[in-house]
Amino acid sequence: MPAAAFFDLDKTIIAKSSTLAFSRPFQAGGLISRRAVLRSAYAQFMYLVGGADHDQMEKLRQFMSQLCAGWDVQTVRDIVAETLHDVVDPLVYEEAVELMEAHRADGLEVVIVSASGTEVVEPIGALLGADSVIATRLEVEDGRYTGEIATYMYAEEKAIAIRELAERRGWDLADCYAYSDSVTDIPMLEAVGHPHAVNPDKDLRRHAVEQEWPVLVFDKPVALRSRVPVPSRPTLAALAVGGAVAVGGVWWAGARRRTTGA
């Protein structure tokens, strides 16, 4: 392949964060409280309208690891396997799917790059036909989350991972494309020759205008199963850990915003 197109996941490919959709199934499974579900709903709204800056994302990382510590991996997988078919349909922007298809038609590889866990990103990537995924990795010991994050794929870490993958694949980054909604992904966007802001937060929009980057608006969520077959339940179960991490993160975001009055 001569080059690649790198896509962020939430609010770039997916119309909303999957965290809120997972919060109630995890509550039903006894992993989080009703209070956390309500905070997730508030944080989901704040995330959609405002995004998150670097300080919020660092606090989010810390809270994610604390909340998930000790969770049984199989329990999380079982919950997701029972509920994911309701969660993923619909999730993706039609414009994102069409853009990925166009890049593949031009001979480019499609790579999803996300701060979400590999357990959620890899199955979604496979479902969408992505060639590779770059995502956060959680530590697991004796079937439970240790509370540590082995690799947090965020900000500059995304750019580093992109450069390393490009070197292994022989891609010229000047010929590559990247798409994201968040100001925290500026390093990822600057790593390629063709950066694009998609549904950008205000800071990324300002930067994109200054740099004369294209600004795209995706606003047509499409039922995923109408574009590609939904995988079997065993495959869906593999999405579990990333969903668990996301729920914890959105709980923390809601709590922080309530405390600060933002």
Q: For residue 72, what pLDDT is reported?
A: 84
Active site residues: 8, 10
Each residue's pLDDT tens digit, 188-221:
999 999 999 999 999 999 999 999 999 999 998 8
Is residue 247's pLDDT more than 50?
A: no
Q: For residue 59, what pLDDT is reported?
A: 64
Contact yes or no for 38/253 (Cβ under 8 A): no
Mean pLDDT: which of 27-31, 143-147, 168-172, 239-243 is highest?
168-172
Give the span between the Cα atoms of 177 and 5, in whole angstroms: 4
Q: For residue 253, what pLDDT is reported?
A: 40
Ranges 46-50, 57-61, 91-95: which has the least confidence: 46-50
Q: For residue 249, what pLDDT is reported?
A: 43
Is residue 55's pLDDT more than 80?
A: no
β-partners of residue 4 are: 109
Ranges 36-50, 52-66, 127-141, 208-222: which has the least confidence: 36-50
Per-residue pLDDT, averaged over 33-56, amounts to 58
Q: For residue 209, what pLDDT is reported?
A: 97
Ranges 28-42, 80-94, 148-162: which has the least confidence: 28-42
Each residue's pLDDT tens digit, 148-189:
888 999 899 999 999 999 999 999 999 999 999 999 999 999
Give the span between the Cα atoms of 73 and 61, in whole angstroms: 19
Q: For residue 19, what pLDDT is reported?
A: 55
Neighbours of 37 (CB within 10 A): 17
CA angle 82–40–113, rounded 5-degree value: 75
Relative orientation angle of helices 19-28 and 73-87, to the nearest 10 degrees = 130
Q: How confident is the model at residue 261 (pLDDT cuts 50, 70, 90)?
A: very low
- 3 state SS for the chain: CCCEEEECCECCCECCCCHHHHHHHHHHCCCCCHHHHHHHHHHHHHHHHHCCCHHHHHHHHHHHHHHHCCCEHHHHHHHHHHHHHHHCCCCEEHHHHHHHHHHHHCCCEEEEEEEEEHHHHHHHHHHHCCCEEEEEEEEEECCEEEEEEEECCCCHHHHHHHHHHHHHHCCCHHHCEEEECCHHHHHHHHCCCEEEEECCCHHHHHHHHHHCCCEECCCCEECHHHHCCCCCHHHHHCCHHHHHHHHHHHHHHHHHHHHHCC
Which residue from 21, 19, 20 is spatially nearest to 87, judged by alpha carbons?
21
Q: For residue 109, what pLDDT is reported?
A: 97
Is residue 61's pLDDT more than 70?
A: no
Ranges 50-54, 60-64, 258-262: which has the least confidence: 258-262
Each residue's pLDDT tens digit, 94-139:
999 999 999 999 999 999 999 887 777 777 787 788 999 999 888 9
Q: For residue 15, what pLDDT is reported?
A: 79
Instruction: Compute the mean pLDDT over every residue in the chain, rounded to the nearest whole number.
Output: 78
